[in-house]
Structure 1
Amino acid sequence: MVQKIFAIALVVLLSGCASTYKHSELKQASEQLDPSRGVLIAVPEDGWYGDTRYQRSGQMTANAALAAFSKNAKKVDLTDRCEGAECLEEIDSQEYGYFVEPIILHWEDRATEWSGKPDRIEIQLIVYSTATNRQVANSSFTGKSSWFTFGGDHPQDLLAKPADEFVRGLYR
């Protein structure tokens, strides 16, 4: 009987240990990306929640996109010289075949370990072809940390898994 109660408690405890993600295709990928073509990723504006602006969250988001694209493309770089689709006017399409515009829609860092309120993010990734200046894909994902943490979890910890899955799908 004690073993059964322990097993049930362990299952309940472990089910609260996983972060959850939801992915939404805003524009289905219109083409498979070519891994031999370079990718340029813009650094988005920092995220916020209420009156709190989260310093360097834009850089962390760009870094997560960089890591995901680097697993699939031969050349991947970041830029903070321009913002949004205006970057398309400045990109050398021979060097970069794709431009990625990450947008932080929501960034919420909570003291989950004592409040029980999870960290949350919502990120939109828009991929453009630099040859045509048209969107190739447009997707967003949300992430929510588990309610059971050992401390030290942050919204940026929710970026890698959904970014990797989205980018891997673009190169299938």
Structure 2
Amino acid sequence: MNKVLMVIVGIIVLTGCSSKYKSVEVTKSTELLIKSKPVVISGSADGSYEGKPYSGSGEATAQAVRSAFSRYTDNAVIVSQCNELACLQKHNSLSEGYYVVPQILHWEDRATEWSGIPDKIEVKVTVFNAATSKVIASTILNGSSKWATFGGDHPQDLLPEPVNNYVDSLY
């Protein structure tokens, strides 16, 4: 009986020690991206939850997207004053390459260490072909923090893994 109880407690502890991610494809990728082509990324409006805005969350999201694309090109830039395709085209016109528009749909920062309620994010990332303005791919990335955070995790800590995995899948 003690062994069964220990196994159950171990499973609960282990599942509480890892963040969870999933993605929902909005538009299936129509082409593989070409390495080294320029990527222009829009800023994103800051996320909020229950009326509380999270200052800097939009910048953190754009930076995570830029970091992921920088693994494939030396020319990945953020145009922070834009948050849509038309603005990107106006401020940083490309004849080839890609425009990327990240959008925070949900941003929830919780005191997980004492409440047991995880931090959550939901970010939509849309990639456009710069030459045609057509959507190449679009997805919604979801993440929730591990239960055992020990006070150090925040929603922005949930960004790198799903964003990197998504960008990897585009090349």
Q: TM-score, normalised by structure 2?
A: 0.93
**Residue pair 2:42, 2:88 contacting (<8 A) in 1 also:** no
Corresponding residue number in structure 1 for 2:140: 140
Corresponding residue number in structure 1 for 2:59: 59
1:128 aligns with 2:128: yes
By how many angstroms is 1:152 displaced? 1.3
CA–CA separation in structure 2 for the residues paired with 1:126 and 1:148: 32
By how many angstroms is 1:28 displaced? 0.5
Question: Which amino acid is the alignment partner of residue 101 of structure 2?
Answer: E
Corresponding residue number in structure 2 for 1:92: 93
Corresponding residue number in structure 1 for 2:109: 109
Residues 133-158 of structure 1, C-alpha deviation per residue, up to 9 Å, x if partnerless? 11111111110112222111100011
Secondary structure at the aligned position of 1:82 is classed as coil
**Residue pair 2:82, 2:88 contacting (<8 A) in 1 also:** no
Question: Which amino acid is the alignment partner of residue 144 of structure 1?
Answer: S
Residues 21-42 of structure 1, C-alpha deviation per residue, up to 9 Å, x if partnerless? 1100100011100112100111
My pick for the range that moved more, 33-42 or 83-92, is: 83-92
By how many angstroms is 1:159 displaced? 0.4
CA–CA separation in structure 2 for the residues paired with 1:28 and 1:146: 29
CA–CA separation in structure 1 for the residues paired with 2:153 and 2:163: 18
Residues 37-73 of structure 1, C-alpha deviation per residue, up to 9 Å, x if partnerless? 1001111000000110000000000011011111122
**Residue pair 1:19, 1:144 contacting (<8 A) in 2 also:** yes
**Residue pair 2:128, 2:136 contacting (<8 A) in 1 also:** yes
**Residue pair 2:79, 2:88 contacting (<8 A) in 1 also:** no
**Residue pair 2:40, 2:88 contacting (<8 A) in 1 also:** no
**Residue pair 1:88, 1:130 contacting (<8 A) in 2 also:** no
Secondary structure at the aligned position of 2:82 is classed as coil
Q: Which runs of 4+ in 1 moved over 2 A?
A: 1-12
CA–CA separation in structure 2 for the residues paired with 1:13 and 1:24: 27
Give the count of matched residue pairs: 170
**Residue pair 1:35, 1:74 contacting (<8 A) in 2 also:** no
Corresponding residue number in structure 2 for 1:163: 163
**Residue pair 1:68, 1:167 contacting (<8 A) in 2 also:** yes
Question: Which amino acid is the alignment partner of residue 93 of structure 1?
Answer: L
1:4-43 equivalence runs, <5 A: 5-43=5-43
Structure 1 unaligned regions, length at least 5: none
By how many angstroms is 1:81 displaced? 3.1
Structure 2 unaligned regions, length at least 5: none
CA–CA separation in structure 2 for the residues paired with 1:106 and 1:38: 28
Identity %: 42
Corresponding residue number in structure 1 for 2:80: 80
